[in-house]
Structure formats: structure tokens, C-alpha cells
Amino acid sequence: MLVYPTLNLFLYDLRAGLGQNEAAVKQNRADFKRKLPAHFDNALFDRLDNDLSEMDYLELLGKDKRVIPLSPDQDFPEHDGYYYPVRFNDSYGLLLNCSFAANQETTDLTWLSQLQKLVASRVANQKGTLGETWFFSAQLDNLEKSVDLEISVDLAENIYHTLMPHAEATENKIGKSDFLGGEIFEFRGVDSPTQLDSKHHIIIALYSDKASLDREIEFYSDWMRLLFYRHKITWAYDQSRQLAKKLKQEAITIQACEQKLRDSTNAQKLKSEQLQTALDEAWHILSDYATRLDELNDQAHTIEINLGNYKKRLAQLAKKSACALTVFTEFYDLAKEKYHLQVKADYDGFSSKLRRLENLIGYIRASVAIREETRDRDLVNTAAIWGTGLATGAIVASIVGQLPIFTETGSFWNFFVSLGISGGTAVLAGYLMKKSIDKKIIEWRQT
């Protein structure tokens, strides 16, 4: 017999994602409020939620009211419960509590399935964007005797299968620990018969006496925080997997872009417009890739922060309950040794491709700049050489034209002789100027 069975839904939504504008934040708030009943102080909710200060834990209905009672339901006349919405900095949390006043049988759990449907309907069958945990608890008669017979284990697995019909309890059971004189079990959630779902999570607590059952309410705020950190970690890891997939695809594009830039640079007759087009394309790819890489680093940072918070809150909960709660350390170990290390390794690996493309672009830009500088200097040198030569030729021509031999009137050859002397002088002067400039350039390069 289960005494005062209670089904709690801990549900978490993102309030403000990275880079989201004010309109997106307002939409997130509206989506979260749709999980609440119509009768609550909407103005107070908005005023508290608009507080710009960083709040680690904010009760969104105020300190006086705190909860919204569940309205009666004709299919479950003997139930009671409440909504309890809170805010964690950039996220929302909601505890929906629903309890049976009457005792329930353990042999047929149809009533639990119906209760779960009732609770889900009270949040309009909406899921948490960050995740959710179903937390079932009750007092189990003769629990101390049933431990030896593994009756509590079988019951916990049956409860899990009722809440997660597609799941295999034995495969998804993480373990159990002592809690308040009873036992607490943790299970993984599933999305389908073949796929685990990190957004879903099941906890089942079976107490040996009513005194322990009554104490459960003292720990709701602790569970709210602990489970939030857990879901924030799994959400960040899921986000990192999506980012890693996109980065792998973009890494292939980057590799092709690198080859294209090298081919463009090696082409002797490449037009500057073609090279500029290739560089513009590379910068566009680089910008998108760098943005995703920053987002991946943000997820690693999110996991790291919430890992620390999870560890601290679990230690506080264990101290407060005087129970080790070792079953919940498995997730911490998994997140630390797999999730965080995997995201950091991905970031380091993808960063190398970013640096390689940046270096290649920098090299090409420098080469183009040197090439253009050389071309401009050659143009200036050519102008100086031929300017000097022509000026010299003009001077010589003027002098030659004043000689007596060319002053005789009507001499047809005067013009051609004068032109030949001035032209030859211009070429000779230009050649000497070029040799002088080339010598100066060699001396400059050697310094």
C-alpha cells in the first residue's frame, strides 16, 4: 500500500539564450507563463522577472504567496497540489506538485498513469526546453521488511515503467541510495524505445514512515536547484553536439577554401579581382566558423559552472538530510569526465583549423601588399628614369640647335640630326638613372 503518493514535475525553460534580443526574451517568458494557470498575479510576475539584477533563485510569485493552488479536477476529486515558479538567472524553473490524499494499491498502477496525464495537462502538455524530472514519492508500508525481499526495487521499477512506458527499467536504472530512512532511486529518461533522452529524468523516493514523508517538503528548494544544474549541464552538452556537427561540416568547407587560396596564390597570371573574391569568401567562412566556435566555448563554460554548482548543492542536500546520496554522484562524474572534457577537446581541435585559415589569409594579404608595393615602386622608378632621360635629351637638343652647323637656313637634315642626338642622349641618361636606382635598391635590401 502506498500512503499519500505524490507526483512532482520539475520543469525547466530557457529564459534568455546567448545572443537573444529583448523580443526573444519576452517570447520565452510568454511560453513559460502558458504552463501556469490563468489566475495568478501576472503584473507581479513581470515586475519581478524584469529585475535586471542577477538572481540565483527568485520566487516569481513573491515571498507572500509563492505558489498557485491546483484547481479541482472531477476525475481526481481527492488530489491537491500547487504550482511553484522560480527563476535562475537566465532560466525558469517550475515545480508542479500533485498528491493523492487516499492510499493507493501497488499491484495496479493505472492510477499513476492517469495522474501523470493530469499533471502534464496542467502545463498544457508542454515540455521544458532545458529538461524535466518526474519525482514520485510515497510512504511504503513495511518498507524495512521489503528491502530484504527486493520488493522496493521491483516497485520502483514498475513505477518507472508506468511513467516511461517505452523504457526498460533495469537498463536505465542508475542506482539507489538511502534517504530520510527510506530509499531513493534514480533512472534515465528515454525519448523512444531505442533512444535515451537527456531532457527526461526520473526520481522515485519510498519512505518508511509518515514523519519522513512529511519532511520531503523541506527539500523541494534543494531539489529545484540540484535538478536545474543537472538539466543545464545536459542541455549545454546537447547544444555542443549540435555545434560540433556543424563545425565538422564547416571544417570541410574550410579545407576546400584553404586549397583554393593556395591555388590562387600559386597562379602566376591570377587577376587581383579573382584573388580578392577568394579572400572575401574565406573571410565569410571564417566569420561563421569563429562564431560557432565561440558558442562551443560558451557551452564548455556553462558545463563547468553548473558542474561546480551541482557538486555544492548535492553536498548541502546530503548534509541537510544526513544521507550520502551517492547515487547522484554518478551524473557528476559522467559530466566531468565525459561531457566537459569532450567539449573542451572539440574546441581545441576545431580551433586549430581556424588559426590555420587565419594564418593563410594573413600570409596572402601580406604577399599581395608586397606585390602591389613592388609594382607601384616599379612604376615610379620607370617614370623617374624616362623623365630624367627625356629632360636630358631636351636640354641636349636645345644646345645642339644653337651650334653654327645647324643654324644655316634651309638645311633639311638639321631636324633629323638634332632628333637623333637628343633621343640617344635621353636613352643613355635613362639607362644610367636605372642603374643608379637598381644599385640603391640592392643596398637597401642588404641593410
The backbone torsions φ and ψ at residue 101, rounded to the nearest 5 degrees and listed phi first, read -75, -30
Whether pLDDT at 355 is above 60: yes
Count other C-beta atoms under 10 Å from residue 196's C-beta.
13
Q: Which residue has the higher pLDDT, 443 or 172?
A: 172
Q: Which tens digit of pLDDT belongs to each residue from 263-272?
A: 766 654 455 6
Q: Which tens digit of pLDDT belongs to each residue from 129-160?
A: 999 999 999 998 766 544 444 778 999 999 99
Confidence band, pLDDT 50/70/90 cuts, at residue 72: confident
Q: Which tens digit of pLDDT belongs to each residue from 219-261?
A: 999 999 999 999 999 999 999 999 999 998 888 877 777 777 6
Greatest distance between any 2 Cα atoms in the chain: 142
pTM of model > 0.85: no
pLDDT of 397 reads 47
Grid cell locating 317? 542536500
Distances in Å between the Cα of 432 and the Cα atoms of 39, 82, 131 are: 97, 99, 83
Beta carbons of 137 and 216 less than 8 angstroms apart: yes
Confidence band, pLDDT 50/70/90 cuts, at residue 366: low
**Mean pLDDT, all residues of the chain:** 80
* DSSP states of 144-207: HHHHHTTHHHHHHHHHHHHHSTT--HHHHEEEEEEETTEEEEEEEEEEETTEEEEEEEEEEEEE
Whether pLDDT at 363 is above 60: no
Distance CA 332, CA 321 (A): 19
Q: Which tens digit of pLDDT belongs to each residue from 373-392?
A: 555 555 445 544 444 444 44
Strand partners for 142: none
For strand 79-88 and strand 2-14, is the pairing parallel, antiparallel, or unpaired? Answer: unpaired
Count other C-beta atoms under 10 Å from residue 283's C-beta.
14
Distance CA 172, CA 168 (A): 6
